[in-house]
Amino acid sequence: MSKKLREKFGKSHKLKVRKIKVRYLMLVMVLAGMMIPKVPAQAESCPDVRIVFARGSGGEHYNTNDYLEFKNTIENKLATIDLSYEFIDLDYPAVGVGLDNLDVTIGAFFGSGDAYEFGESVDTGVKNLTRIINNDSCKNTKYVLGGYSQGAMVVSKSLGSLNADKIIYAATFGDPKIYLPEGRGIMPAACRGENLSDYRMYVPDCQAYKGLLGAYEPYEPESLIGKVGTWCNKKDIFCSSHISVSDHVAYASDALYEDASRVIFDKITKQFGIENHISSPHDTAILIDSTGSMHSMINKYKEEAFRLAKETLDAGGRVALYDYRDLSDPYTPVEHCNFETCTLEIFQSELDEINVDGGGDTPESLLSASFYVMGSLNWKYGSTKSLVVLTDANFLSPDRDGMTFDEVVRLSKVIDPVNFYIITNNKYGDSYAELAEQTGGMVVTNLNELNLLTDYIIERYDSLPRVEESDSVDLPYLEIEKIERISNTDVRVKFNTDGTKTLVLLNGVLLGVTDEKEITISGLNSELENDLMLAPLNETHHGDGVNLNLDSYGYIEVSNGVVSMPKAPNTGKLN
């Protein structure tokens, strides 16, 4: 985008459920050696950029699908510019995960098997990442960070400790500690497309609020505003309100690293003042006002429409062409070619056939026409979607058929959104400002800047929706009734919930899933914080987890025996 246009625009724990046996998940943990972070040998050359990725639980160095996909998608774009760089797979334990099948609605769940080692693993990652960046002697080297799952926790927990001047961007994927305040409440603001966090890059679930393991608040430190982005797959149990495990392991296959790479590459090129020619696939629909008053400017509009179509098609995108007038005219809107039929030759031929005529009063039926165009086209998932309107008149709201501004904006956002770019004269520029703002587009009133607008549209990279607006659903709730300490290592918790199951986690580690409303946690260690989370589940969603610090409850003499569990896996210790 040109400067001119920019200026314008340890031990296992025991869980006991009284009366009905609980199915436990005490999953095996593979603990890698605690490694001291070391900068690769080539780091002595002080590259322009170091790109650090923190892998997820159990991942092996340089051999995880997520690390390789993250690396490859960025490296493919860096190969197009003259910049020195290196990738670092962060040295930290990334303690392992196990997989077990449940006879409950979630089907399967990933969890770590040892609370002490899990917490130490994350903290070691934070320490190592902070040391790499803050102790780097290469004064001009900048950093890009990425982290998946447990690695996302490492990145997001580190942000407040990092030298912000060294950071270009930090991207997290499937973060169990995500924080999106716009997802809170019975009808969250995010479900209306409002108050979206600037770091919310792709989180379709409008009820995503906090991660399954809680939240880091603030998620984006003040020193890093504009340098943080988070991706949470549609139904990822760890960062959305849904309970899908398959979505948590699909960030590579669902092209979310590819989506993030465009954002990251744009940040890198801006940091170093390099022109960015990488963009996402484009679906661009062009809608031309063909009333008689357009006579003086239609040729210039057509010229730029053709250039936009040519550049879009040359870049592998798709175009469509429509014209409109008023509903009092007999044929508005008219489809000349759509995404499936528009070749450059057909587009040119159809563009030449558009004649200006008719009209009467100044406002035209843009709302009805744009609603028709958006609803008629087969928009491609993952493409950058634009509706370019060329007009010299205002619009009716509501339109003659009752179509309203809000209906048009809502459909735009439901589709992806479809960004409206309105090209008009100075007289009506202000009238279109809200439509452009609500749909993430732009208004241009200077015909001499049409070529700049085309360049801007082509260079855009924002391919996936920040949020999918929808009506919120009732999430299950849970509230604590009573907590009592029954020994110096055991605590009993009673609670109420309207969920069908309850997920039980201690220090960020899954202990089990139960349909009971009373549990006993055994084998607590006084040297740890012993943070308990209870998260209610129904068939499709989980509600906000309730967090308790078990060390805050006083000692009570044992009045009932507590049933011990068998030997914990891979600890070599008896409970």
φ and ψ at residue 66, rounded to 5 degrees: -70, -45
In a domain, 259, yes or no: yes
pLDDT tens figures, 184-212: 988 899 998 889 999 999 999 999 999 99
* Residues 290 and 385 grouped into a single domain: yes
Q: Which residue is it, tokens 């906000």?
A: 544
In a domain, 180, yes or no: yes
The model's confidence at residue 328, banded by pLDDT at 50, 70 and 90, is confident
- In the beta sheet, which residues pair with residue 506? 509, 532
Q: In whole angstroms, what is the distance from residue 362 CA to residue 192 CA?
A: 32
The amino acid at residue 431 is: S
Q: What is the mean pLDDT of residues 121-139?
A: 96
Quote the tokens at residue 450: 């049409």
* Residues 317 and 362 grouped into a single domain: yes
Domain CATH number, residue 124: 3.40.50.1820
The model's confidence at residue 557, banded by pLDDT at 50, 70 and 90, is very low
- In the beta sheet, which residues pair with residue 282? 384
* Residues 51 and 166 grouped into a single domain: yes
Its domain, for residue 313, covers 283-459
pLDDT tens figures, 434-474: 999 999 888 888 666 666 677 777 666 665 778 887 778 99
Residue 179's nearest CA partner among 236, 146, 219 is 219
The amino acid at residue 567 is: K
* CB contact at 8 A, 112 and 57: yes
pLDDT of residue 341 exceeding 60, the answer is yes
In a domain, 252, yes or no: yes
How confident is the model at residue 559, as a pLDDT? 37
pLDDT of residue 370 exceeding 90, the answer is yes
Q: In whole angstroms, what is the distance from residue 314 CA to residue 513 CA?
A: 53
In a domain, 501, yes or no: no
Q: In whole angstroms, what is the distance from residue 432 CA to residue 452 CA?
A: 19
Q: How far apart are the first and last CA of the chain?
A: 63
How confident is the model at residue 108, as a pLDDT? 35
Q: What is the mean pLDDT of residues 524-550?
A: 86
* Residues 165 and 185 grouped into a single domain: yes
* Residues 257 and 306 grouped into a single domain: no
Q: In whole angstroms, what is the distance from residue 522 CA to residue 526 CA?
A: 12
Q: What is the mean pLDDT of residues 275-293?
A: 85
Domain CATH number, residue 407: 3.40.50.410
The model's confidence at residue 421, banded by pLDDT at 50, 70 and 90, is very high
From 424, 459, 494, the end of a domain falls on 459
Residue 301 Cα distances to 296, 420, 456, angstroms = 10, 16, 17
pLDDT of residue 280 exceeding 90, the answer is no
How confident is the model at residue 448, as a pLDDT? 62
Share of the chain above pLDDT 90, in %: 49
* Residues 337 and 254 grouped into a single domain: no
Residue 332 Cα distances to 276, 401, 404, angstroms = 39, 12, 17
CA atoms within 13 A on the CB side of 415: 28
Q: What is the three-state SS of 184-243?
A: CCCCCHHHHCCCCCCCEEECCECCCCEECCECCCCCCCHHHCCCEEEECCCCECCCCCEC
* Residues 62 and 142 grouped into a single domain: yes
How confident is the model at residue 6, as a pLDDT? 40
The sign of the dihedral angle between the CA atoms of 234, 238, 241, 242 is positive
Residue count of the chain: 575
* Residues 257 and 355 grouped into a single domain: no
- In the beta sheet, which residues pair with residue 374? none
pLDDT tens figures, 206-246: 999 999 989 999 999 999 999 999 999 999 999 999 998 88
Q: What is the three-state SS of 95-157?
A: CCCEEEECCCCCCEEEECCCHHHHHHHHHHHHHHHHHHHHCCCCCCCEEEEEEECHHHHHHHH
For the chain, helix, strand, coil in percent to 5 are 30, 25, 45
pLDDT tens figures, 491-516: 899 999 999 999 888 877 777 788 89
Share of the chain above pLDDT 70, in %: 81
pLDDT of residue 477 exceeding 70, the answer is yes
pLDDT tens figures, 63-119: 789 999 999 999 999 999 999 999 999 999 998 754 333 333 333 334 343 455 788
From 459, 481, 506, the end of a domain falls on 459
Q: Which of 259-263, 297-301, 418-422, 452-456 has the lowest mean pLDDT?
A: 452-456
In a domain, 52, yes or no: yes
* Residues 144 and 256 grouped into a single domain: yes
CA atoms within 13 A on the CB side of 570: 14
Q: What is the mean pLDDT of residues 48-70?
A: 89
* Residues 104 and 238 grouped into a single domain: yes
* Residues 255 and 293 grouped into a single domain: no
φ and ψ at residue 78, rounded to 5 degrees: -65, -25
The H-or-E segment that residue 442 falls in is strand 442-444
How confident is the model at residue 181, as a pLDDT? 97
DSSP state of 81: S
pLDDT of residue 556 exceeding 70, the answer is no
pLDDT of residue 22 exceeding 60, the answer is no
The amino acid at residue 543 is: G
Q: In whole angstroms, what is the distance from residue 226 CA to residue 168 CA?
A: 9
Instruction: State pTM to two decimals.
Output: 0.68
Helix axes 256-271, 65-78, angle to 10 degrees: 40
Strands 509-514 vs 501-506: parallel, antiparallel or unpaired: antiparallel
In a domain, 90, yes or no: yes
* Residues 195 and 329 grouped into a single domain: no
Q: In whole angstroms, what is the distance from residue 561 CA to residue 538 CA?
A: 32
The amino acid at residue 346 is: I
For residue 529, the SS3 value is: coil
In a domain, 11, yes or no: no
pLDDT of residue 169 exceeding 90, the answer is yes
- Name the domain count of the chain: 2
From 241, 271, 301, the end of a domain falls on 271
pLDDT of residue 15 exceeding 60, the answer is no
Average pLDDT, the chain: 81
In a domain, 6, yes or no: no
